[in-house]
Amino acid sequence: MDTQRLILFVVFSFAVLLLWDAWQKDHQPAPQAPSISASSTVPAQPPVPSLGQQLAPPAGQPAAVGDGLLRGPRAKVKTDVLNAVIDANGGDIRRLEFTKYGDSLDPKKHFVLFEEPQDKLYIAQTGLIGASLPSHRAQFKLTPGDYVLGPGDSEVKVRLEWVDSSGLQVSKIYTFHRGSYVIDVAYEIQNHGPAAVEPYAYYQLLRHGKPPAGDPKFVSTYTGVAVYTDKEKYQKVAFPDIDKGKQAYPRYSDDGWIAMLQHYFLSAWLPGDKLRREFYTKVGADGIYTAGVVVPVGVIQPGASKTLTVPLYAGPQEQDKLSTLSPGLGLTVDYGWLTIIATPLFAVLSFMHSWTNNWGAAIILLTILIKLVFFPLSAKSYRSMAQMRVLAPKLQKLKEQYGEDRQRLHQAMMELYKTEKVNPLGGCLPIAVQIPVFIALYWVLLASVEMRQAPFMLWIQDLSTPDPFYVLPVIMGLTMIIQTRLNPTPPDPIQAKVMKIMPIAFSIFFFFFPAGLVLYWVVNNVLSITQQWFITRRLEGAQTGNVKR
């Protein structure tokens, strides 16, 4: 097996590995749920009655209209980073848009995460269980209108009220913070009745099961539920698994969170640590998925009150902020099995961006740095390929000498390699070593919201999507042609034709890759060509006695 055949094998293996990596990210087997023994501290029965029983519509409640959600007075919240709509029916967050992020299909519009039409339904709901307390179907009193975060204000609050004839008074309070996608959702419960109550609060997210609009067409990104606990760590709960009842996440815990994930964005309920909780997921007959958590408020004696606050994070997957909000939340930025390489790559890339304020320039600097790290290995490889190029005439003579006798030809080639001290496998090593780095960088560019709609220059206005005019893939193809000509010519005519076609085929393959990734490969190829040309020139000059210094 000669160098050219090995290169073809490595390239083919790389393509297969990339496809397998994309498949593995979304189809990895779910971990088995831990068994609960009688001696375990986890209760064998739910700490609250069945949600399905507790949240049945009360008698006499009017049927939902239109898209399935009742509409009432609304509060419109405006902060420096988001706009939200809260409805008095249930106190739901019915709409949430981010003013710092453009829509996936029309960047001139704001990106919308929560919205209420049935075919796009994605909302946040909360409610109380027990003693006839208000669920997400209850009617709250709300002062409608605009709630604006004014200059110099650090937060803005929206307060909803509910009063029961038995003497229970509930206030539901939303607190929005400046420069933050964290929304604090608090319940203040005052018991003016004659008996103690022990309510539970539930916090849930409702979402349709379709991937978000503008998702990559040729790459599968994860859309679904995720659960994290300190004991069981990060677990995905895909929508198909919910359909089949295969949810294997821990049901009870004293820590952790539950989230809805999609490409670049997430929403997650983040109860405080040391607070007993029950996670749950379900799917409705209308194809709407629910993911939520139930937490105890505690016993409230007559004349007493209690307050419970659970933060909701609904925003972009900003890697430098997620892990500071809750343990494990940074894992929602999913780099797959190459996280160990992708995470430091992104850290270096972010550092470069802090210098350049341009992600494209940061990618170029990162490419140069990676090239410097691999420089000794690449030099050894290109030296081996240059030696093979020098040996090409001798290999051609051996082919002519032995004709179709493959065994003797192979033996003669091995003797020639041994005599000339040439390793025919040396040229493939840097390609093989760079494959994990390439795939890791691929997922960094694909999964990092920081790269979303990030411009480079001229026609490249979004490094996370393919080059709209295919200029970079064509340039990459040209650099591959130059590299092919620097490599030794295969003695086999069929292999020679394949090597000529490969740059064109690879360019077409890269038409569908993010422009940032193709930019990395173009810069890498240019640097490789320069290094390979210099080494080949010196080696060929040494063979003829005309080394130029």
Is 60 part of any domain?
no
Mark whether 510 and 489 lie in a shared domain: yes
Domain boundary among 310, 334, 358: 334
How high is the mean pLDDT of the chain?
Answer: 80
Domain boundary among 286, 304, 334: 334
Is 392 part of any domain?
yes
Q: Which domain holds residue 207?
A: 79-334
DSSP 210-279: SPPTT--SSS----EEEEEETTTEEEEEEHHHHHHT---S-SEESS-EEEEEETTEEEEE-PPTT--EEE
Query: Pick the residue with more confidence: 483 or 137?
Result: 137
Q: Kindly report the CATH number assigned to the domain that includes residue 198.
A: 2.70.98.90
User: Which token pair is 89?
Assistant: 């029916």
Mark whether 373 and 327 lie in a shared domain: no
Which residues have a Cβ under 8 Å from the Cβ of 186 and sit 6 or more positions away? 171, 172, 173, 175, 307, 308, 309, 310
Mark whether 410 and 483 lie in a shared domain: yes
Is 41 part of any domain?
no
Mark whether 398 and 288 lie in a shared domain: no
As a whole-number percent, the residues of the chain with pLDDT over 70 amount to 74
Mark whether 436 and 296 lie in a shared domain: no
Mark whether 98 and 239 lie in a shared domain: yes
Is 32 part of any domain?
no
Whether the per-residue pLDDT at 198 is higher than 90: the answer is yes
> Are 319 and 431 a contacting pair, CB within 8 Å?
no
Query: Pick the residue with more confidence: 270 or 104?
Result: 270
The mean per-residue pLDDT over the stretch 64-85 comes to: 83
- Residue recorded with tokens 């480079």: 456
Query: Pick the residue with more confidence: 398 or 144?
Result: 144
Q: Which range, of 261-265, 413-417, 528-532, averages the lowest pLDDT?
A: 413-417
Is 278 part of any domain?
yes
pTM for the complete prediction? Answer: 0.80
Mark whether 185 and 290 lie in a shared domain: yes
Mark whether 281 and 328 lie in a shared domain: yes
Mark whether 388 and 501 lie in a shared domain: yes
User: Which token pair is 297?
Assistant: 């408020």
The mean per-residue pLDDT over the stretch 245-267 comes to: 92
**Torsion angles phi and psi, residue 540, rounded to 5:** -65, -35
Is 210 part of any domain?
yes
Q: What pLDDT, in 10s, does the model give residues 505-514? A: 777 778 888 8
Note the pLDDT of residue 227: 96
Q: 544, 501, 536, 547: which is closest to 385 by C-alpha?
A: 536
Q: What pLDDT, in 10s, does the model give residues 427-476? A: 566 667 777 887 888 888 888 898 889 999 889 998 888 888 989 988 98
Mark whether 12 and 148 lie in a shared domain: no
Residues in the chain: 549
Mark whether 324 and 367 lie in a shared domain: no
Mark whether 410 and 511 lie in a shared domain: yes
Note the pLDDT of residue 544: 57
Note the pLDDT of residue 218: 59
Is 54 part of any domain?
no
Confidence of residue 6 (pLDDT cuts 50, 70, 90): very low
Domain boundary among 334, 361, 384: 334
| Structural domain count, the chain | 2
Q: 52, 130, 143, 138: which is closest to 90 by C-alpha?
A: 138
- Residue recorded with tokens 């060929």: 540
